[in-house]
Amino acid sequence: MAAESARGDAALLDVRGLTKLFGELRACDGVDLTIERGEIHALLGENGAGKSTFVKMLFGSLEPNAGEIRWDGRPTAIASPGEARGLGIGMVFQHFSLFEALTAAENIALSLDSRTRISTIAAKAQALSHSYGLPLDPYALVGDLSVGERQRIEIIRCLLQTPELIILDEPTSVLTPQEADKLFETLERLRSEGKSILYISHRLEEVKRLCDRATVLRNGKVVGHCDPRGESAASLARMMVGDEVKAVERPPLSERASTDKLLRIEGLDRPPATPFSIPLRNIGLAVHAGEVIGIAGVAGNGQSEFFEAVSGEVRQASPGTIRIRGKDAGRAGITERRMMGAAFVPEERLGHAAAPAMKLSENLLLSRHATDARAFLGRAGVVKTAAITASARRINVAMDVRKSGEDPAAASLSGGNLQKFIIGRELDRKPSVMVVNQPTWGVDAGAAARIRQSLIELARNGSAVLVISQDLDELFEISDAICVMHNGELSEPVPITEATFEKVGLLMGGAEPGHSAAAGAH
């Protein structure tokens, strides 16, 4: 009884000197962290600071080289995610672990008691999702869902395991503000029930709102602990990066932006590809040289289908539906549209924007073998390794990509660093048209500012930039006008000088119908 009483007074999780080595790289270097019962504890740090490595050790996905983990007062070795879940640790990863060919309920079932019927799991998941304000269709195929909808599956799957400690890695990066607010209510309710949460996020205002304490990592080491409610977003960012984060500057539009249409979309219709897809209806939009147009919208309203159509992943019946630099591109594929001067960055980094097992230089060659054939390929298609390596190195320096080796596999980078490389890979071409879906998903404050500033500078140097984002703060910071995607329709552009969060929020909720046909005349 005495031992039980002592454990009852102990912290739920007490980590001392946790260290993880990858060759000579100390991804985590003697990390100390304590989480009390009923506490929401923030883990902060820039991309590559060691946050993901640390939580993977807590969840049994990685084995530490040194240090001790004490769970409920007892020294504990966590050899696998199954053992972590058995202890009462649940985790929602930044990169989702879902099978696209299975339904939401089937994916959830994989981590639960195999004796439970799918229909029972589906009913429980649906009830839990509605009670937490994160609506979920348990019978929808994951492959047909948006990134935001997949995030809901991960969160509900974790909550169904009734964990004592929930680790959330960038949980709001693909949620709308309304969905994020519902999630915060859920987390606060869990805290009131005595559950503990380790919260990783680069959105510092939500950390200030939600978290009781924060531990800050830099280069794998703990550099500070604080009460985030007593800090400003700027002071937290300064602790993370060790310096001031430069504010994003958006110079006024030039006269050229009003005349030269580099990307024009007219009468874009697309029937639903699956029973769960959103049809696109008569979308029209023009993006001029020199300007950034933002596309806002609640996840699952046609943004993914729109990106696929604009990028050439799905071709159109009429050549003139999409025009790039005055040329018909509707029937052109991705490579042909790239050859016209366009660049594209999809929302899903691993598997879509980059091949996980391939090196950064190899991913660079995959995306630019046609546009940079003279620079990267010799006679008979012989690869110029030195030229590709030099280009990859230039991109890494320009975007401050933190990595474990000279030319590592894409999957070995943290999510934010991989995003910086992918954005940099396209910016390095200096494209005339740039279309980006969720440019700063899971990226720290410093890197987000760098990416946003780079997109603005690309536009101001004469390119047309189209940004699809669920981060309204981001869109208001970089856009010259904002459109809203709702139920497969695109609103007319709202000039940033006239845009308000309330006006854009109403459009996102469908309070006003889209007038996409007229938008093409913008």
User: Could you tell me which residue, 192 or 135, shows the higher pLDDT?
Assistant: 192
Query: Mean pLDDT, to the nearest integer, of 175-191?
Result: 81
More confident call, 174 vs 210? 210
Which of 350, 332, 353, 351 lies closest to 342 in space, CA to CA? 332
Is the pLDDT higher at 234 or at 493? 493
Over pLDDT 70: what percentage of the chain? 93
> What local confidence, expressed as pLDDT, does residue 162 receive?
87
Specify the pLDDT at position 3: 35
Angle, to 10 degrees, between the axis of helix 147-160 and the axis of helix 177-192?
10
In the predicted model, what is the mean pLDDT of residues 402-419? Answer: 86
In this structure, what token pair is assigned to residue 305? 């289908």
Rounded CA gap, 356 and 335, in Å? 20
pLDDT value, residue 72: 93
pLDDT computed for residue 255 by the predictor: 59
User: How confident is residue 2, by pLDDT bands cut at 50, 70 and 90?
Assistant: very low
Give 152 or 122, the one with higher predicted confidence: 122
Q: What is the mean pLDDT of residues 481-493?
A: 94
The arithmetic mean of pLDDT across residues 481-501, rounded, is: 93
Residue 467: the pLDDT is 98
7 pLDDT above the threshold of 70: no
> Of 24-28, 142-146, 173-177, 255-259, which range is least confident?
255-259
Given a cut of 90, whether residue 351 has pLDDT beyond it is no
The pLDDT-based confidence of 144 (bands split at 50, 70, 90) is: confident
Q: How many CA atoms lie within 13 A of 109 on its CB side?
A: 17
Whether residue 77 contacts residue 232, with contact meaning beta carbons closer than 8 Å, is answered with no
pTM reported for the whole predicted model: 0.73
**Between residues 257 and 430, which one has the greater pLDDT?**
430
**Residues pairing with 221 in the sheet:** 218
Q: Pick the range with the lowest mean pLDDT from 34-38, 419-423, 511-515.
A: 511-515
Tokens representing 20 are 């993880």
Lowest-confidence region among 132-146, 249-263, 331-345: 249-263
Mean pLDDT across 121-146: 86
Over residues 239-260, mean pLDDT: 76
Contact (Cβ atoms closer than 8 angstroms) between residue 190 and residue 123: no
**Per-residue pLDDT, 322:** 97
Least confidently predicted of 233-242, 324-333, 431-440? 233-242
DSSP letters along 11-53, please? -SEEEEEEEEEETTEEEEEEEEEEE-TT-EEEEE--TTSSHHH
Beta-bridge partners for 169 = 200
Mean predicted lDDT score pLDDT of the chain: 88
3-class DSSP state of 278: coil
CATH topology of domain 2-241: Rossmann fold (3.40.50)
Assign 257 a pLDDT band (cuts: 50, 70, 90): low
How many Cβ atoms sit within 10 Å of the Cβ of residue 289?
23
Q: Which of the residue ranges 48-57, 278-287, 375-384 would you say has the lowest mean pLDDT?
A: 375-384
Backbone angles phi, psi at 167, to 5 degrees: -100, 120
Q: Is pLDDT above 90 for 414? A: no
User: Architecture of 248-341+432-522 per CATH?
Assistant: 3-Layer(aba) Sandwich (3.40)
Helices 147-160 and 118-131 pack at an angle, to 10 degrees, of 110
Between vectors from CA 68 to CA 159 and to CA 223, what angle results, nearest 5°? 85
Rounded CA-CA distance 244/456 in Å is 20
Q: Taking residues 351-380, report their average pLDDT.
A: 90
Q: Rounded CA gap, 298 and 319, in Å? A: 29
Type and span of the H or E element at 490:
strand 489-490
| DSSP character string of 203-258 | -HHHHHHH-SEEEEEETTEEEEEE-GGGS-HHHHHHHHHSSPPPPP--PPPPGGGG
> Does the structure show a pLDDT above 60 at 258?
no
Indicate if the alpha-carbon torsion angle 236, 43, 46, 202 is positive or negative. Answer: negative
Secondary structure element (H or E) that encloses residue 262, with its range = strand 261-270
Residue 110 is classified by DSSP as T
Alpha carbon separation from 127 to 137, 166, 337 (Å, rounded): 10, 20, 45
Token representation of residue 110:
């994989």
pLDDT in tens, 43-98: 999 877 899 899 999 999 999 999 999 999 999 999 999 899 999 999 987 767 88
- The strand order across the sheet containing 322-324 reads 280-288, 261-270, 322-324, 327-328
Percent of the chain scored above 90 by pLDDT?
58
Q: Looking at the chain, which residues constitute the CATH 3.40.50.300 domain(s)? A: 2-241, 248-341+432-522
Q: Identify the band that residue 512 occupies on the pLDDT scale cut at 50, 70 and 90.
A: low
pLDDT beyond 80 at 99 = yes
d(CA 306, CA 278): 10
